[in-house]
């Protein structure tokens, strides 16, 4: 039961479902497949697709391969359709991309930064404003991933850079109204939507950059915690170390996994979001440093598996290369840490197919989650000059969705 009580509500409901399905499948399924998936009548699907094309929300292309008979159409993003601006702010640089419905992503800007809140967010805010002006009504939202705990409302702490309660939305500029989130939580969301946690009921995602972040993903949702700062498995004392972490705690797991730990292992300077190129060099050349990282990673994973019983553990960022280069070391370190009852069927540990794109794609997903709603589509129509001159019948249908009885 969907609870839509008027034909207008039903139409809006089906528009959202269809756009959602196109987005989630990466614009890869044909109209007839989607019609079956969503249990729509063929005629209903035709009318829906035509209406969405008219509103510049969808555009159909012939399928590349199709069986004999009528060519099959594949609904995908409209060339003048909605765009999510997604940003991945790492400790040393930020990357800004425009993302279409379906998830196709075009990187627009990649800039190093000095690590200060003003030095990061001032130029980034200007870049966002510039792209919004250029792209106009097509930009339906901005999602920003940051490498630290993010409280609801966008207050951010990045211990490695000395950020305490930085008001990210304010420093980006009021016009941006961004959805701000933690990079690991966004990477986990992307993994759940279009990576190796898709369809997984309980998964554990770990994102390794300068240090390590981790979050439990349940039914496709990363657990955000009461204040939004939940994705912090990296700040648990899982490896028995006694170093003081910049976060203020002692012996954090993240001190032993990631670029900073690699640099420290070979005696190079580390911290403050510097040294990415040297760390990549260490990762590519120092078996010993890689093994030490992989051992610490495996040991911590065992502890989290004991606690949470995930089906799959996914690794993004440097975690992919660590598991490829030192998979055996990782597993040998993980195994003895598992409770006996976990050893018969230990969870799979897999590198993410999204590698470094997860945080950016998760930021995109959060924007489209807000857009792919009756309210989001209504705002799109209101912002479309062409749609304002719609036929009277269509306008009535639209208005009836606003005024009709509330769904039960
Ligand atoms: Zn810590």
pLDDT digits (tens, 9 = 90+) for 249-263: 999 999 999 999 999
The Å distance, Cα 214 to ligand 1 centre, comes to 12
Spacing, Cα 237 to ligand 1 middle (Å)? 8
**Rounded to the nearest 10 degrees, how much is the dihedral formed by the CA atoms of 198, 367, 363, 163?**
-140
pLDDT at residue 387 is higher than 80: no
User: Is beta strand 155-158 parallel, antiparallel or unpaired with respect to 163-167?
Assistant: antiparallel
Instruction: Tell me how far the alpha carbon of residue 296 lies from the centroid of ligand 1, in angstroms.
Output: 15
For residue 66, what pLDDT band results from cuts at 50, 70 and 90? low
Amino acid 406: pLDDT? 30
Q: What's the gap in Å between 275 CA and the centre of ligand 1?
A: 20
The pLDDT, as a whole number, for residue 6 is 87
CA atoms of 350 and 252, how far apart (whole Å): 23
Strand 150-151 and strand 155-158: the pairing is antiparallel
pLDDT at position 153: 87
What sign for the dihedral angle of Cα 101, 104, 108, 113?
Answer: positive
- Separation of 334 CA from ligand 1 center, angstroms? 21
Tell me which of 34-48, 165-179, 321-335 is least confident.
165-179
| Interval between CA 247 and ligand 1 midpoint (Å) | 4
Distance of CA 394 from the midpoint of ligand 1 (Å): 56
Give per-residue pLDDT as tens, 299-353: 999 999 999 999 999 999 999 999 999 999 999 999 999 999 999 999 899 999 9
pTM: 0.91
Residue 1: the pLDDT is 47
Please tell me the distance between residue 283's alpha carbon and the centre of ligand 1 in angstroms: 22
Provide the 10 A C-beta neighbour count for residue 271: 16
Query: DSSP letter at 154?
Result: T
Query: How would you class 269 by CB atoms within 10 Å of its CB: exposed for 0-12, middle for 13-18, buried for 19 or more?
Result: exposed
Closest CA to 105 of 367, 378, 407: 367
Ligand 1 centroid–CA 407 distance in Å is 46
- Ligand 1 centre to CA of 238 (Å) is 11
Q: How far is the CA of 226 from the centre of ligand 1 (A)?
A: 19
Q: 177: pLDDT confidence band, cut at 50, 70 and 90?
A: confident
Of the listed ranges 59-73, 210-224, 250-264, the least confidently predicted one is 59-73
Kindly give the distance from the C-alpha atom of residue 236 to the centroid of ligand 1, in angstroms, as a whole number.
7
Give the pLDDT of residue 378. Answer: 95
pLDDT of 296 strictly over 70: yes
Tell me the torsion sign for CA atoms 208, 92, 89, 131: negative
Q: How far apart are CA 397 and CA 69, in angstroms?
A: 35
């Amino acid at each position: 039961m969907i609870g839509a009580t008027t034909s207008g509500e039903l139409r809006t409901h089906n528009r959202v479902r269809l756009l959602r399905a196109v987005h989630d499948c990466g614009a890869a399924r044909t109209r007839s497949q989607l019609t079956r998936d969503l249990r729509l009548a063929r005629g209903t699907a035709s009318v829906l697709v035509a209406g969405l094309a008219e509103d510049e929300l969808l555009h159909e292309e012939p399928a590349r391969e199709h069986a004999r008979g009528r060519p099959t159409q594949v609904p995908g993003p409209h060339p003048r359709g909605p765009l999510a601006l997604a940003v991945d702010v790492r400790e040393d640089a930020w990357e800004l991309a425009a993302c279409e419905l379906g998830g196709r992503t075009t990187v627009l800007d990649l800039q190093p930064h000095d690590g200060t809140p003003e030095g990061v967010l001032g130029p980034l805010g200007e870049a966002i404003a510039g792209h919004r002006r250029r792209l106009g009504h097509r930009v339906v939202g901005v999602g920003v991933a940051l490498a630290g705990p993010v409280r609801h409302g966008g207050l951010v702490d990045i211990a490695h850079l000395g950020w305490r309660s930085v008001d990210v939305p304010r420093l980006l500029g009021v016009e941006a109204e961004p959805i701000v989130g933690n990079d690991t939580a966004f990477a986990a969301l992307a993994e759940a939507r279009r990576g190796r946690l898709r369809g997984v009921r309980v998964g554990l995602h770990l994102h390794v950059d300068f240090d390590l972040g981790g979050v439990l993903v349940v039914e496709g949702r990363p657990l955000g915690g009461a204040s939004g700062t939940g994705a912090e498995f990296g700040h648990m004392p899982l490896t028995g170390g006694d170093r003081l972490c910049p976060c203020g705690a002692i012996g954090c797991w993240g001190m032993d996994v990631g670029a900073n730990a690699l640099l420290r292992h070979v005696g190079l300077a580390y911290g403050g979001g510097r040294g990415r190129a040297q760390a990549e060099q260490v990762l590519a050349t120092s078996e010993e440093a890689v093994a030490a990282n992989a051992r610490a990673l495996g040991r911590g994973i065992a502890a989290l598996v004991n606690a949470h019983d995930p089906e799959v553990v996914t690794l993004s960022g440097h975690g992919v290369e660590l598991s490829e280069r030192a998979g055996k070391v990782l597993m040998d370190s993980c195994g003895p840490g598992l409770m006996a009852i976990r050893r018969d069927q230990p969870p799979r540990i897999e590198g993410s197919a999204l590698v470094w794109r997860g945080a950016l794609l998760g930021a995109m997903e959060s924007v489209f989650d807000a857009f792919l709603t009756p309210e989001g589509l209504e705002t799109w129509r209101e912002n479309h000059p062409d749609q304002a001159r719609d036929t009277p019948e269509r306008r009535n249908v639209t208005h009836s969705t606003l005024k009709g009885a509330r769904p039960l």
